[in-house]
Structure 1
Amino acid sequence: MSNTLSTTSQTTLRRQNLLGTWRQSPPDAINRLRSMTQRQFYAQNLADQLFTLSELSYLYARKTHDKAYFMAAALYAYAYLNPQAPASERPSPFSQHFRQACDIYMLSLTEALGSPVHVSSQLWTLPFGTLNLDGVPTSYQWHGHNLTDLRPLARLSITGIENIYSQAGLGEPVGGLPHLSNAEDHSFTISDKLRVPLNLQVLVPSPRTQILSNTLQGHLALTAMDEAKPPNAPNPLQYDQTAARAVSLDETMDWSLEYKGFLDGRLFDQTNAAQLFAIEPHQYGHRPVILVHGTASSAARWASMVNDLMEDPVIRQNYEFWFFSYATGNPIPYSALQLRQSLLHTIQQLGGTQADPALGEMTLIGHSQGGLLIKLLAIQAEDKLWNGMVPKPLNSLKISDKYKQFLHETLFPSPLPQIKSVVFISTPQRGSYLAGFSLAHMVGRMVSFPLTVTEATRAVLASDPALRRLNMRPWRVGSVYGMSPRSAFIRSLSPIPVTPDITAHSIIPVTGGGQNLEKADDGVVTYKSAHVPYVRSELVVPHSGHSTQSNPITIAEVRRILLENLQNNSTTETLTKQDISTMGGLYQQPEQTQQAEAAQ
């Protein structure tokens, strides 16, 4: 908003001989113009005078920081827009002042109502009278949850998220925290820091009549973005959904936890924090998409992708996003077991697939190490993993049933029935060459593991003299060495395909143009390591580093996959592979398809 008067306001002041008064005494100019407008209520230039009163009050409020003038500016702007009147009596949306009046209304409410925003009943003393505002009904809830700590979003500057999305309309965009009664569940929760995008309005019946009286009556109205627009709100409502997401992440994230979670495998056990959380309550019919981050990373790394995907109405109406966090230095099978247990507990907590069949249509997306975690939930390993790592059958070891069960759960994984598709992003299927470097080994030696992992490892080594020769020192058990191409774990896991009942996709970034894939890598993982033959689709993202989650080609491919998943029982139009190719992605034909065509 400019500090200079618009041409319309200057013209209005000149016609009333008030321009000099405005320059010398703004309050006198506002009061005199208001009096003239009251006497000329049926004049043809009433709308221009209301707009001028709004602009004058706003500019004076910015100079004096007087909340009463900010509220007056909002009320004048609302009267000018007159949203409750027939369309013929409202200003044209093509008017040069229409959007400006909407902005004055929004910014004035932001300043008048402050932070946090109080939505209880309140009495205002205005420069010309009083305003009695009825508050938001105490019965108002968002998906059964009370909202607290409403914060204005209009003046925030957003960084760290690639694309900014907002919805133009009328009102003040705010973000509210849902008060969650189930936050004590430590397996799955709706984050208590993620804010709901809301619209707040001061609604005044018959605004052009009331604004020129000395006693005004109105009420506050609060509407969540995913709710139906109130029937008495003919205009679109303004929201700032990206700002709400950005504030959520800023308040949620302790960036040091990315490295603490890598070095301290006991982190989640000690803090008792939920490892699986959602950004909104589960809704019937919404298929969960579970995002699993990579090494020394966190859920915040998915921010740009989720921000973009949630703007697609088909995805927003059919999917919801859950985030899994884990101590990334721990052994990969142990972290995969935590993911499995969290998902099973959550499915049960939500009533199972009997309560909602959509819970049986899960998509898991894993980046880097996260891709290895999700693979362990999508394979029928039988004894292949164990035999590749330990030369003795598990049942032959003289260890307690407790440790046998633990080892069976971690190293004999089977597919989770509720998973229908998996997406590997930058995944070291055959290991990462960086994990083989001596520096990575040195860092791996600094990781501390949960007591269960340490005790189970010791029990295995002590159970048979022949096993004492196994090099199972703690640093070789952790994820860093586990991702080395030389590790027994990665060499045993890589040949095992995803079960045919689960559709797999690969997204593989390379730093070059993708012409010579045999020598290409993303700075961490080579193409040859990430490439597997059993996926339905493989997309190479050229000129992209390992952290490709924010790359628009990567995001578009995830969107295509999610829409394709809906095609089994829907006629939804999907983003095609040709669409991705025009953006610069390079599709590689899976080896199984190539072999089938060669046979023909």
Structure 2
Amino acid sequence: MLILLQGCATPVGTNPVDIQTGYHLNSISALSAGEASEPTKMVLRRNGLLDRFDTEAEAVLAELHASLKSNGDEDKLFALAELSMLHAQQSDDHAYYLAASVYAWSLLFPGDVAGIQLKASDPRYRLAYDFYNQGIAQGLANPEDDDKGEIEVLLKPGEYQLPFGKLTVSVDARGLVWGGYRLEHFISTAAMEVRGLRNRYRIPGLGASLAAGIAAQQAGDKVVGSDRIGPRIKVPVTAVMQLGDARRRLASGRLEANIQVYAADQTKEIIINDQLQPIEYDPTAALAHQLQNNPLYELEIANFFSGGLFGSIIPKDRAQDGLFTLRPYFPGKIPIILVHGTASSPARWAELVNELEGDPLIREKFQIWAFIYDSANPIAYSAGQLVAALQKATREFDPEGKDEAIQKTVVIGHSQGGLLAKMTAIDSGTRFWDLISDKPFEQINVTPEIRQLLQKSLFFKPLPFVKRVVFIATPQHGAMAAAYEWVTGLVFRLVKLPSTVLNGIAQAAASSGDEKLNRLLRRPPTAADNMNPNNPGLKALASIPVSPTVRAHSIIAVEGDGPVEERDDGVVAYRSAHIDEAVSEKIIRWGHSCQDQPETIEEIRRILLEHLIASNLVSG
């Protein structure tokens, strides 16, 4: 008997567990495990309510609410917030979701009611924010949404039921307009899993983080740059439900709230009870939602051969020159222009955009624009479109030339896009024209429209506001596949060149009788021809250095090991991508589509920080 007694466990003791189990036991909550946290269970045990909650949740919540003291009582307030969230999850009763927000707000912002607020080191402190944020999103969710689908949050004024009373809600309309468009279709990002992007940048804080769409038409008076907001944009916004002195009003059951909506690019913090409160945002989720089922991916190859398909998805009230902004133009932020490559689209910059916008310093100092174009067109023609679009946008955004940031623009191009980027920073003189005609350009008798087209496509000067260019896997001296005549011939037979290009060549040839122009008319060049290493136009471009007023950087991809001089990325050889005037050259051991690789992105980040230092916008 003595031996048996020694082997029995004592009534009180401990059991050893591993560190993960120990942490899990101490971090269980209604949000992480669908179970009340230990501090909430303690409140239930103290009041003899733990077992009853499983069968009489609403009665237990009513008893706890009725027993609340007029001030303090933080333990019970937290328990009410968590148990309301837990019961709402089990019953799908939106009133309890809203109650969780009300209790959490009362705990975090008790106003002038005497009491001890939770300390920042208390795990319940962050959980209270999460109960408040989730309570808004779920409590205002469209009741018609399927449980497994997206959660649309309805930001509407009105009277909402609470388990212990009524909540009268108003909505501040000022936050519902962004970039000249009314925001609509607010989707909760808390109920989203992001795929396809390495990192999810989520800024923790107060409020329900949402991805908002924009209305098809502008809200009212035209806003500068509104027509350059990209199509299908999703705006990272946050809804904050200001509940004022809710703590004092809990006993009466009559509460008032005002919903305010903040966009991530406009507001970072708000003041509540004389204290700055960061706002919660989830920009990565909004970006991923924007690219979900985006037609750009499907149109990339088809647009290369047919041309004009990208234009079919651009609303008629938007700019038709191919230059779009991800956010409304913001004075004081340096533009970064992203130019995609052949048979590609701006969607391929998603990883880079996510990383740059996830960097607080870059997000504060830069703004991202994207250029979209038909990549089968002659490179000089596409470059002329890019230059014209940049000139027009700069005049629109800064007509008086007061914004110093726009005068420090950075252009980043991948593959063919790098050739377009280079042409924003060179002085070509008459070299391109001389390749296609023996007659001086001034003597060509064409319509003003054709003369303007030829002028912008064949004569380039460095754009004074472009101060830095970055070339990624750029065929400065030609692409390998384009060296084969059967490839360029096949592309010529399959692609459809724009009528403006063909009409321009025809009119110039007819008016001049120039044999060079006539040969060009019989076999107009495509972008594939222009990337042939033996193409005279490409050779001319390669011989023109980047302007000394512009800093050039090269990011060159090569596959495999060994000396880089002997390697290539599957499309472009190192010897083709290398240029002597680059102030830096980064080798990436990857294939041609390296623009989304971590090493490429980190090099771009380094270049942008260097640009800030050179621009005296940050210290070295």
**TM bracket (short chain):** 0.7 to 0.9
Alignment match of 1:560 (pick from 569, 588, 606): 606
Q: Is the 8 A contact 1:329 1:444 kept in 2?
A: no
User: CA-to-partner distance for each residue in 1:18-48, whole Å, 9 max, x for gaps?
Assistant: 223222222222222222x23x556x7x222
Q: Is contact 1:253–1:300 with CA below 8 Å preserved after alignment? A: no
CA 1:148/1:24 → structure 2, altered by over 3 Å: closer, same or farther? Answer: closer
Residues 84-163 of structure 1 mapped to structure 2, 5 A cutoff? 84=111, 89-115=116-142, 116-138=152-174, 141-142=177-178, 146-163=182-199
Distance in 2 between residues matched to 1:229 and 1:426, nearest whole Å: 40
Choose which of 548, 556, 560 in structure 1 pairs with 2:594.
Answer: 548
SS at match of 1:564: helix
| Aligned residue number for residue 223 of structure 1 | 262
SS at match of 1:414: coil
Aligned with 1:97: secondary structure?
A: helix
Quick one: structure 1 residues 507 and 187, their matched pair in 2 at CA, closer, same or farther if it must change by over 3 Å?
A: farther
* Match for residue 241 of structure 2 among 182, 198, 202: 202
Q: CA deviation at 1:101?
A: 2.4
Query: Which runs of structure 2 are paired with 1:308-387 in the superposition (5 Å)?
Result: 308-352=355-399, 354-387=401-434
Separation of aligned partners in 2, 1:390 and 1:187: 41
What corresponds to 2:10 in structure 1? none
8 A contact 2:43–2:79 mirrored in 1: yes
Q: C-alpha deviations, 1:363-402, integer Å up to 9, x for none?
A: 1111100011121221111222233455665567676665
Partner residue of 2:232?
Answer: 193
Partner of 2:296: 254
Name the SS for the 1:280 alignment partner: coil
Residue 573 of structure 1: CA displacement? Answer: 3.8
Contact between 1:143 and 1:281, CA under 8 Å: does it hold in 2?
yes
The structural deviation recorded for 1:351 is: 3.6
Q: What is the rounded CA distance, in whole Å, between the counterparts of 2:114 and 2:525 in structure 1?
A: 70
> Partner of 2:63 in structure 1?
32
Matches of 1:106 and 1:269, distance apart in 2: 39
Look up the SS of the partner of 2:79 in the other structure.
helix
Deviates more, 1:250-259 or 1:136-145: 136-145
Q: Tell me, yes or no, if the aligned pair for 1:332 and 1:479 is still in contact at 8 Å.
A: yes
Q: CA deviation at 1:189?
A: 0.8
Whether 2:466 is the aligned partner of 1:430: answer no
Contact 2:334 2:406 in 1 (8 A): yes
Partner of 1:517: 564
Greater Cα offset, 118-127 or 458-467:
458-467
Any idea what SS the aligned residue of 2:270 has?
A: coil
Task: Give the Cα separation in 1 of the matches to 2:167 and 2:452.
Answer: 68
Distance 2:117 2:587 in 1: 53
Aligned-partner Cα distance in 1 for 2:171–2:576: 60
Counterpart CA distance in 1 for 2:284 and 2:211 is 10
Structure 1 residue runs without a partner (length 5+): 575-600
The 1:406/1:182 distance shift into structure 2, 3 A limit, reads farther
Letter in 1 for 2:606: R
**1:338-375 deviation digits (Å, cap 9, x = unpaired):** 11111121122224352423332221111100011121
Q: 1:443 to 1:164 in 2, by over 3 A?
A: same
Rounded Cα–Cα distance in structure 2 between residues aligned with 1:400 and 1:146: 42
Residue type of the partner of 1:52? Answer: A
Deviation for aligned residue 1:166: 0.9
In the alignment, structure 1 residue 243 sits paired with structure 2 residue 291: no
The superposition leaves residues 71-105 of structure 1 with CA deviations (integer Å, 9 ceiling, x where unpaired) of 11221222233364699721122223222222222
- Classify the secondary structure of the residue corresponding to 1:477: coil
1:262 alignment partner AA: F
- The equivalent of 1:413 in structure 2 is 460
Q: Name the residue aligned to 1:593.
A: none
Query: 1:332 and 1:129, CA in 2 relative to 1: closer, same or farther beyond 3 A?
Result: same
Question: Please, what TM-score do these two structures have when normalized by structure 1?
Answer: 0.86
Q: 1:389 to 1:140 in 2, by over 3 A?
A: closer
Letter in 1 for 2:298: S
Asked if the contact 1:123/1:132 (under 8 Å) is kept, the reply is yes
Where structure 2 has 5 or more consecutive residues not aligned to the other structure, the ranges are 1-30, 143-151
Residue 10 in structure 1 maps to residue 27 in structure 2: no
Q: Does 1:165 align with 2:201?
A: yes
How large is the RMSD of aligned CA atoms in angstroms?
A: 3.0
Count residues in correspondence. Answer: 567
Secondary structure of 1:290's counterpart equals strand
Q: Deviations over 1:249-279 (max 9, x none)?
A: 3375432221232112344667666311101
> What SS is found at the alignment partner of 1:231?
strand
Shift of 1:228: 5.2
- How far 1:482 sits from its partner (Å)? 1.6
The Cα shift of 1:145 comes to 5.6
Distance 1:469 1:204, change over 3 A: closer
Distance 1:229 1:398 in 2: 61
C-alpha displacement at 1:183, in angstroms? Answer: 8.1
Secondary structure in 1 matching 2:580: coil
**Offset, 1:193:** 3.1
What percent identity do the matched residue pairs reach? 34
CA contact (8 A) 1:119 1:136 kept: no
TM-score normalised by L of structure 2: 0.84
- Note the C-alpha offset of 1:107: 1.7
CA contact (8 A) 1:183 1:190 kept: no
Q: In terms of mean alpha carbon deviation, does 165-174 or 141-150 score higher?
A: 141-150
Partner of 1:583 in structure 2? Answer: none
